[in-house]
Amino acid sequence: MKFKPLYAVIGALVLGVVLLGLASLRPFGEAAQVAGSGSAPAQFAQGSAPKPAGTPAAPKDEAFVIKRILPITGPIKYGEWHWDDKGVPAGPLVITVDLDARVLSVFRGGYEIGATAVLLGFGDTPTPLGVFPVKWKDADHYSSTYDNAPMPFTMNLTPDGVAIHGTQVEKGYASHGCVGVPNDFAQKIFAITPVGTKVYITRGKMAKPGDSLI
């Protein structure tokens, strides 16, 4: 058969296209292999979704946000107490006790209306930490455990007898776990504190206006 130059040119072109196609398959295969070995593309291929944003904090209940601290200069001395409820609107009552500062504070609607130095438990009968609702009240209570000792204006907090009550608050004195306050102060808080009021007993917790009491 006689060789025709036109057929040779066409054949060469076809062969070139085929070879070019074969050559193009190799780089694609190499690229797929590299992509499959990388950790980030693999995670993306699995459809990992970004982590959801954190849940926003619940809004503060304004009735329990601290709006005023009594302007007391220096530490409160034993036997000393402060009271100022003039112009303070009605609101829920909260009582706090700081074991480190040895101070009890009374808040109404977020306004501090009373504060006093306290006696606390010692040794084998420490004052417990926690949140305690006032369980019952007795204005003329006597201890059934400690020699019938007078506990005027008692507001009981625990089943084993820990309470807030009036007593002689002096340096060097201690209680058997109760929170002892001056008698006149005890009478004031007894008069306004309903059963169920929460008492927060903490150790060294600092609070300032704008913080929540609960």
Residue 76 φ then ψ, to 5°: -80, 130
CATH number at residue 144: 2.40.440.10
Cα separations in angstroms, 26 against 30, 74, 79, 104: 6, 83, 92, 81
Domain range enclosing 30: 5-45
Number of domains, the chain? 2
Statement to judge: residues 40 and 103 lie in one domain: no
- DSSP reduced 3-state for 27: helix
Same domain flag for 69 and 25: no
Q: How many CB atoms lie within 10 A of CB 175?
A: 23
**Taking all residues of the chain, what is their mean pLDDT, rounded to a whole number?**
82
Examine the pLDDT at 11 and tell me if it is beyond 90: no
In this prediction, residue 146 carries a pLDDT of: 82
Give this prediction's pTM: 0.72
SS3 content of the chain, % helix, strand, coil (to 5): 25, 30, 45
pLDDT tens-digit profile of 123-152?
A: 999 999 999 999 999 999 998 888 889 999
Tokens of 200: 């927060």
What mean pLDDT do residues 85-93 have? 97
pLDDT at 9 over 70: no
Answer yes or no: is 87 within a domain.
yes
Please tell me whether residues 139 and 174 are part of one structural domain.
yes
